[in-house]
Amino acid sequence: MPRFEVAARLRPVDLVSPGSVLVDDAAPGPASAHPTPHPAPYAAAEVELPAAGTAPGRDAPVRLALASGDDELGALWDPATGEVSLELRVGSTTSRHLSRRHGRPEQRPVRLGLTLTGVHLAVHTHDGRAWTTRARVDLGAERAADRGGAGRVDTRDERWLAALVTTHCGPVARVRAGGFGQLGLRDLRLVGHADGSAYRPGGDLLLTATSAGPGFFDTAHTSVWSLDPVTLALAHRSDLFFRRPDRPGAFGDHATHLVRDGERWLVATSTWGDFDRRRDDASVAVTLARPDGDVDLLSGRHLLDTEPLALPVDGLRAAGVRSVGVWNPHLVRDGDDWLVGFVSARRFFDFHPALATGPALDALTLRAVSARRRATEGTTLLRVDGAWRVLVSDGRDGRRGQRQQHAVLDLDLAEVGVLDAPYPTNIPWPTLVDLGEEGWLMVAFDGTPYAGPLPGYGTHGRVVVARSVART
């Protein structure tokens, strides 16, 4: 394999995704209401705020809200107090949420934003340079009540989502609303044919990514992007959401692999969309969607039906390896058989790569496991010089000799080498593509956070693109 050097670091940030704008009103007046139905609970709205004292009434409070039925989830900016807060009405119950540490911006904001990501509602301000999260509340049933919330809001209910309306009141210059975009990108994977080659119907590379929200993994969702291999311009294409086979609702599951298998799509994803480590039964599984090939998953927003992708955890247990969850699927067809790379966790978070094989995706058996690794994910199958290799990312919490590197394994998951490539922060997945005469391209990510300290871990990261260079 060649040596790689960083060619670009990219971070598109959008509260309202440019590809899913439902409202863009440059003259909204003192109040407005717009129907904004969504396929999943990933919605956003933002308003431009007037400068202080520019006209009579410009220092009045501004309220921005998402409403459905008897529920209204609102954000409030009060210039008189300098406070930014969340105000909720759930049925007949109301509550206000103000962060004493983060709820008073040091300078007057130029934009106010409201986001719904899974069961998390957040308000953000923009100072002309970047967004900062000012307050956040968990709308989940038990957790919201435990934290003094307004009670349960089933944000994943498709009927509730279909009835959503975006409202504002107060002096604003512009209202925009639509699907939530991203604070960062991670878990990038090449969209491929079943044989592992890049699927490039328009010439650009296509990538799935995890679009980070303002919090932990349950605020994120799956998105699809195009990357120009020459200019390295990155552009949003679509968003994918998922129904579960075992429970109702729409979920932002992610860590996804999108495969074009002849005339059909295969979408394998990981059920991070409602993961809560504090639960005694916390787990992650892998599901598979098989939408018709004529469905354009490369544009728009899609809610996909799924079925379980039964990865061979019984084989792991038979080998004496405990498994409490699996994620990070990567699918390729090798002749008449499938190879499926994935990650298994002994506990959260102690995890390692594994490899399954079988004649069909519902008939997989365990081929290999690398159980001595303990902070390794990004399991990616790549054909190099006619042979399959498994690329993995060893995080900083791995064993000595297995830290902060992109290891190259064979199909028995024995290490045969290490990529000569930059290793950013976090656990960047190794996504490689051979561009022929133009050399190789590597797409990874880092752990750089965004939106200030309030969201905590999960807002990462930047996309890190590296090109192959000649060895000296």
Distance CA(306)–CA(298), nearest Å, equals: 18
Encoded amino acid at 269, one letter:
T
Alpha helix (H) residue ranges in 20-152? 141-146
SS3 91: coil
Q: Which residues of the chain have pLDDT under 70?
A: 53-57, 141-151, 472
User: pLDDT (tens digit, 9 = 90+) per residue, 291-349?
Assistant: 988 999 999 999 999 999 999 999 998 889 999 999 999 999 999 999 999 999 999 99
45: β partners:
114, 177
Cβ contacts of residue 231 below 8 Å, gap of 6+?
none
- What is the separation, in whole angstroms, between the first and last Cα of the chain? 14
How confident is the model at residue 52, as a pLDDT?
76
Which sign does the torsion angle of CA 280, 284, 290, 294 carry? Answer: positive
Cβ neighbours around 265 below 10 Å, total: 22
The kind and range of the H/E element at 444 are strand 440-445
Encoded amino acid at 405, one letter:
Q
How confident is the model at residue 55, as a pLDDT?
58
How confident is the model at residue 152, as a pLDDT?
79
How confident is the model at residue 365, as a pLDDT?
97
**Beta carbons of 99 and 74 less than 8 angstroms apart:** no
SS3 379: strand
| Residue the block writes with tokens 């309202």 | 16
SS3 126: strand
Q: What number of CA atoms fall less than 13 Å from residue 104's CA on the CB side?
A: 5
Distance CA(293)–CA(264), nearest Å, equals: 4
Report the percent of the chain where pLDDT is more than 70.
Answer: 96
Cβ contacts of residue 340 below 8 Å, gap of 6+?
309, 311, 329, 330, 331, 355, 356, 357, 358, 361, 364
What domains lie within the chain, and their CATH numbers? 14-181 (2.60.120.200)
Distance CA(395)–CA(427), nearest Å, equals: 5
Q: HEC profile for 301-338?
A: EEEECCEECCCCHHHHHHCCCCCCEEEEEEEEEECCEE
Cβ contacts of residue 51 below 8 Å, gap of 6+?
58, 108
96: β partners:
87
Distance CA(229)–CA(176), nearest Å, equals: 32
Q: In a 10 Å sphere around its CB, with 0-12 CB exposed, 13-18 middle and 19+ buried, how is residue 26 labelled?
A: exposed
How confident is the model at residue 51, as a pLDDT?
84
Query: Sheet holding 405-409: strands in order across?
Result: 376-384, 387-394, 405-409, 415-418
User: pLDDT (tens digit, 9 = 90+) per residue, 99-132?
Assistant: 999 999 999 999 999 999 999 999 999 999 999 9
Chain centre to alpha carbon of residue 451: 16
Closest residue by Cα to residue 289 from 262, 265, 253, 271? 265
